[in-house]
Structure 1
Amino acid sequence: MRRAILWLIVLAAAAVALIEARSWMDRHPQDLPWTALSLDDPLGRFTASKLARLGKAPAQCRLLLAEGGTLDVPAPARISSNRCGYRDGIRLRGDNARLAGFAPAELITSCPTAAALLLWDKRVLQPAAQRHFGTGVEQVLHAGSFSCRRLYGRASGPWSEHATADAVDIVGFRLGNDRTVSVLRDWSAGGSGAAFLRDVRDGACAMFSTVLSPDYNAAHRDHLHLDMADRGAAGWKACR
């Protein structure tokens, strides 16, 4: 009889634990690798890897962009070689009230990179600008996305994520009050500009696979490198 009661207690405890675990999973889909990505979910442990995996699901990626309210459109495929090019390019025109503009205009990135930029703008970039400057970001100043090259332009070695438009280099930001924040000029200058740049760098780490800044090396002294390298469901991230 006593053994039966103990078993009932154990089973009841296990049932409660299972219910609590299921409740936690329902409340935290962003922290589970197998749940579908929603741009409305809080940022979580697997947000970046889910965004990166959209490279294998272009239709799902474009649907997410549409659900996020973008007005941006697919770009024609561009294939330079068997290692360079993209088929899922998105033209970020900069005339969308839900996304800051880009300069130079009409930045083209892979769809996963566009989705990450949309999320970054909404969750990180605009809130950080309001905190530090009391205004929003009007334009993201960039040095491009697609470039058919290996890492650091070397003649051999791994290919850059730029080779598939899965990366973008950000050199600065133009604010709503016409102030420009430059990575090269303001990163080490102190004050609100430096604090803002570090906030947007750190925030990007939740949605991009790789985030490199002037803290990484001299080659990144003038820009933030953001990329969507697909390293698998539980892939590692680099944030420097």
Structure 2
Amino acid sequence: MAVVLRRLFWLSLLAVLVGVPMAVYQQWLDVPRQWNPWAPLDVQDPPSLLTGFKLMRLQQDPALCVQALSSSSLTYDLLPDSTPAADCPLENSVRVRGSGVSFNSSYLATCKLAVAYALFERHGLQPAAQEVFGQPVTRIEHFGSFACRNIGNSQRRSQHASANALDIAGFRLRDGQRITLARDWQGEGDEARFLRKVRDAACEHFNITLGPEYNAAHHDHFHVDMGMFRLCR
């Protein structure tokens, strides 16, 4: 009898694990959008355990990506697939021109990176600025995104080679105050506290975040990307 009950338990559990996702996918079961793994990602929704899965789907589905971008504050141009440099093709990419903040220049980004940035700005960067300074960030200074090159002296392609990475160097607040990693990371005031909060927020929204504590090459910027691995340094 006990063996029969155990088998029934495992069969029931299997039915739930398979049946519930199928019911949600087929829209037989109605769940809130942010908890539906098949619902389009909405940048306005607070991030959840499903956000990473939804981001992963975007790079292979341009239409789904456009839908996610349309829920953000980004201004952007959709770009056709191209190969701007030998051996560095760009697919499902956009040129980001602005958002809730301005940039020192527009930049290329994979759709997935652009949406991750939009999530970071709304749910990480601006809350950090409001908490520390009581005002928003209005401008971001970056060192660029696309660069057809390898990682350091290795044979592995950098995420920059597919516009899947962005190097963020500094921020300007509404009152004009400028905060840079090169000058303010090592301090002990509000600027350093803000930069560490920004680093922590970036770790939540991007797959990889590398800053001054990683190595000397990153002493003046945060490298963020949407590569396959997760790393926060």
**Which TM-score tier does this pair reach, normalised by the shorter chain?**
0.7 to 0.9
Contact 1:137 / 1:174 at 8 angstroms: preserved in 2?
yes
Which ranges of structure 2 fall in alignment gaps of 5 or more residues? 25-30
Contact 2:41 / 2:51 at 8 angstroms: preserved in 1?
no
* 1:1-240 aligned within 5 A: 26=31, 34-39=37-42, 40-80=44-84, 83-94=87-98, 96=99, 99-103=100-104, 105-152=105-152, 154=153, 156-229=154-227, 231=228, 236-240=229-233
Aligned-pair CA distance for 1:140: 0.8
Q: What whole-Å deviation, never above 9, does each CA across 1:91-150 have from its counterpart, x for those lacking one? A: 2212x4xx21111x2222111111111111110111111111111111110000000000
SS of residue paired to 1:206: helix
RMSD: 3.2
SS of residue paired to 1:43: coil
SS of residue paired to 1:205: helix
Count of residue pairs brought into register by the alignment: 217
Amino acid at match of 2:230: K
**In 1: Cα distance, 2:188 partner to 2:95 partner:** 34
Aligned-pair CA distance for 1:202: 0.7
Amino acid at match of 2:103: F
Which ranges of structure 1 fall in alignment gaps of 5 or more residues? none
Amino acid at match of 1:169: D
Q: What whole-Å deviation, never above 9, does each CA across 1:132-179 have from its counterpart, x for those lacking one? A: 111111111000000000002x3x411000000000000010111101
Amino acid at match of 1:238: L
Amino acid at match of 2:48: G
SS of residue paired to 1:93: strand
Which stretch of structure 1 is more off in the superposition, 119-128 or 43-52?
43-52
**In 2: Cα distance, 1:58 partner to 1:72 partner:** 14
Q: Which has the higher strand share?
A: 2
Contact 2:80 / 2:93 at 8 angstroms: preserved in 1?
yes
**In 2: Cα distance, 1:44 partner to 1:216 partner:** 27
Contact 2:94 / 2:111 at 8 angstroms: preserved in 1?
yes
Larger RCO: Structure 1 or Structure 2 (Cα < 8 Å, ≥ 6 residues apart)? 1
Please give the TM-score of this superposition, normalised by the length of structure 2. Answer: 0.80
